[in-house]
Chain A
Amino acid sequence: MQLEGKVALVTGGTRGIGLEISHRLADRGADLILAYKKDVENAKAAKDALEAKGRRVQLVAGDLRKPEGVTALFDQVREGLDQIDILVLNAAFGTMGEVERMGRFSWRASYDTNVLSPMLTAQAALPWLKRKGGVITATSTLGAHTAYPTYVAIGSSKAAMESLVKYMAFEWAKYGIRANSVAAGPVETRAIDWFRYPEAVRIFTARKGLAGRMGMPADIADVAVWLCTDESRWIWGQSIVAEGGILVGVDYEEWQAPADEGTDETTASDPAEVSTGGAA
């Protein structure tokens, strides 16, 4: 229980990776403030599950893309638990589409949720974070470090967010506030279905990556929560990439076996097929 007595505010903390993070923070003893936009039913279910772990949980609602929404949300914090030691910037939004067809509205919407909102939220949380020296952890995407199909609005806005987080770490070190990001590879959440061919994302990830499977919210939440603990106290202003090894290395041989041997494609990922003998 490394987080007893601490309060964590998690944006988008009621579903997907955010919910997984909330649970793990609760497991380590933290009380929670869950910020959600509008799905009350879902938020209440999350609250109930976390309270069952013996934690205090406050739900706060608001549109964090607008200054007045931020003000309203943090008014609720002030009247509620009135403490923030850990800020998890997790809420995300994106419109899928190629550069060629990207519209101004979709573009702006991604940047509003993924960049402007974290900035406004962190500014508003600052007075609480300053009290004892807090931690900020943001969830980002591997799409900020490489290019995915139709992912430019999300990938580029998350790259901007990672830069923002670096600036927070740089400027707020004087308050003892530590800020980092975790950049996640493809993870099985409802966002995967935004891809035009979600099954291709799953197959690629399982075949190219470590575990022969898609990433799960817990894979990322474990890293995010660790970044919120004292164990990572020497990590400042970094983005920790957790992507199961899908981007490590360029393997010229990976699609070769099926063509050469007419076998089914699963044999291509068998180390025995690698002629250099690197896996022997």
Chain B
Amino acid sequence: MSQVQCRRFEGQVALVTGASRGIGAAVAERLAAEGASVAVAYNSDEQGARQVVAAIEKLGGRAVAISQELTQNRGPKKLLDAFKEHFDRLDVLVPCAGHSEILTLEEMTVDVWQRSFAIHLDAVLETCQAAYPMLQESQGRIVLLSTVGSHAALTGFAAVGAAKAGLESLLQYMASEWIRTGVRVNAVSCGTVDTGNLERWAIGPKVRAFVQKKTTGLGIAKPDSVSPIVAFLAATESRYIVGQSVVADGGMTLGIDFEEWVHEIYGKDARL
């Protein structure tokens, strides 16, 4: 049963940013559940980070919370310095830190735009750069978090979508340059994930209804819909996958269903 997934990260160390909640928290807990010691990096949500650490420790795992603002000058470098005070190796890096604001292009401001690129792109580059020496030593893996909004225009998602499109290109460059030293880089491109933010957005209920309808039988993704995919891309099983962005959206952007509004237009009894 060599390949049965249970403890694939025994003896390994993972660093997850944005790990105090949402996808980052689910990834941290999943990697820990499979044996990894985890650095739970967060910006401001200390309570959330503590809960993640407690959840990991409860299952007998090891976790350390590290607070660091990643968009400040040399933030990622400081994060890795703090990381090294706790751990002497790094096997898996998952930069999950992100922040979404929903604005149409007409409403877009330079501030919102720049903030998005700072956290979703600049900070990821710098975090990966800072982590790269340690990842080389361990033949480590980086799993990036992207969105189908980088390929498809999701309502009001331009600031995140464009930054993540940049990230998907950065993925190609990192994968190509770093595979030579055995560091493997891939991404998961998520559909809409319910991380508790949806209700914060005015458009939230519409997003929920749309996704429910498009992902037949699946409903809306939860953080733990994504974390198994991140774990797979960080594990040996995916050793032959390099520089790929794996779309995991439950079919949300799969196909164009010309028939989906037919009953609204032609009435309930319309036959297809």
Contact = CB atoms under 8 A, between A and B. Distances in A.
Interface of A: 1-2, 24, 27-28, 133, 166-167, 169-170, 173-174, 176, 184-185, 209-211, 215, 219-220, 222-223, 225-226, 231-238, 240-245, 248-249, 251, 269, 271, 274, 278-279
A27 to B, nearest CB: 6
Contacts of A169: 251, 254
28 contacts: A2-B5, A27-B1, A27-B3, A28-B1, A28-B3, A28-B4, A167-B255, A169-B251, A170-B254, A185-B240, A219-B239, A222-B236, A222-B238, A223-B237, A223-B240, A232-B232, A233-B218, A234-B221, A237-B254, A238-B248, A240-B241, A241-B241, A242-B241, A242-B244, A243-B240, A243-B242, A245-B175, A271-B181
A231 B5 contact: yes
B267 interface: no
Given A236-B215, A238-B246, A242-B244, 4 more contacts: A27-B3, A210-B184, A243-B242, A248-B243
B4 A231 contact: no
Contact of A236 (B184, B243, B250): B250
A170 B260 CA distance: 13
B247 A238 contact: yes
Interface string B146-181: 000000000000000000000000001101111111
B29 interface: no
B242 A210 contact: yes
Contacts of A219: 239-240
Contacts of A27: 1-4
Q: 6 closest A-B pairs (Cβ-Cβ)?
A: A249-B176, A245-B242, A248-B243, A236-B251, A219-B240, A170-B255
A238 B238 CA distance: 16
Given A234-B225, A248-B243, A279 B218 contact: no
A173 B241 contact: no
B19 interface: no
B91 interface: no
A167 B257 CA distance: 11
A220 B240 contact: yes
B217 interface: yes
A234 B4 CA distance: 20
A279 B241 contact: no
Nearest to B182: A210
B228 interface: yes
A136 B228 CA distance: 19
B249 A215 contact: no
A1 B241 contact: no
A248 B3 contact: no
Contacts of A249: 172-173, 175-177, 243
Contacts of B221: 234
Nearest to B191: A234
A257 to B, nearest CB: 13
Contacts of A234: 190-191, 218, 221, 225-226, 229, 248-250
A209 B243 CA distance: 11
